[in-house]
Structure 1
């Protein structure tokens, strides 16, 4: 019984991995635009989180938020099942966006942009544009 369960889990893991590889390959073939940006978003977040984890400028709470985002993406448990076309990955995207925005509040913007592997305009749009220094009232 346990061997059958182990085999079923291994097959499921391989199928999920293959679907991720297929999505990455197909995303590279999409024309520029929102669909391509969304398809490249989750892999870019994972890469950026991996790059930021060893940076001393990144506070611990931001590293924890980024770790939770990566674990959320990699977790097989989802609020919306992945096999549903189009809306399947939406819970991953929403969770990652919220965690990334939370982490980005305490990460210096140049450090964050340096770690981002994709077009920085997507990240700037996601985070609400470039930060401007606070104005002092005189």
Structure 2
């Protein structure tokens, strides 16, 4: 009876993890930038990484935003992706999709001016970033 309990528990935990991973894949598909925006997100990634680091270090921003950005930086530094690279399109774009989703939430809370103050790139790059986050002046 004890062996059956542990086997059932293992199957239950594995099933829950699989369902959570599938839910994450569905969320990433829904949140992904449309059209050429994904290509722009990948092109802007170096400037966006510097932006995230600068925003995370800004003590004037609310703590929740800085924690969210710190967790995003930790995720990006982690060598294992949530979506394996063998999955077409999403495998290589999962980092850009997650960065875009987090930036959307941060921009909506901190405001576009905070982003502009810390943006290290060009004006064209900032315009592409506002399109990615879905915010305009």
After TM superposition, the structure 1 = structure 2 runs for residues 1-138 of structure 1, keeping only pairs within 5 Å, are 37-82=40-85, 86-118=89-121, 119-131=125-137
Structure 1: which 5+ runs fail to align?
A: 1-32, 132-138
CA offsets, 1:32-86, max 9 Å, x none? x757623333322210011112323311111111112212222112122347675
Structure 2: which 5+ runs fail to align?
A: 1-35
Task: Please provide the CA RMSD for this pair.
Answer: 2.4
CA separation of 1:61 and 1:37: change in aligned 2, threshold 3 A: same
CA contact (8 A) 2:41 2:132 kept: no
Match of 2:95, SS state, is: helix
Deviates more, 1:73-82 or 1:98-107: 73-82
TM-score by length of 2: 0.59
Number of aligned residue pairs:
99
Match of 1:89, SS state, is: helix
Higher RCO, 1 vs 2 (CA within 8 Å, ≥6 residues apart)? 2
CA contact (8 A) 1:49 1:70 kept: yes
Distance in 1 separating the partners of 2:82 and 2:132: 22
Deviates more, 1:74-83 or 1:114-123: 74-83
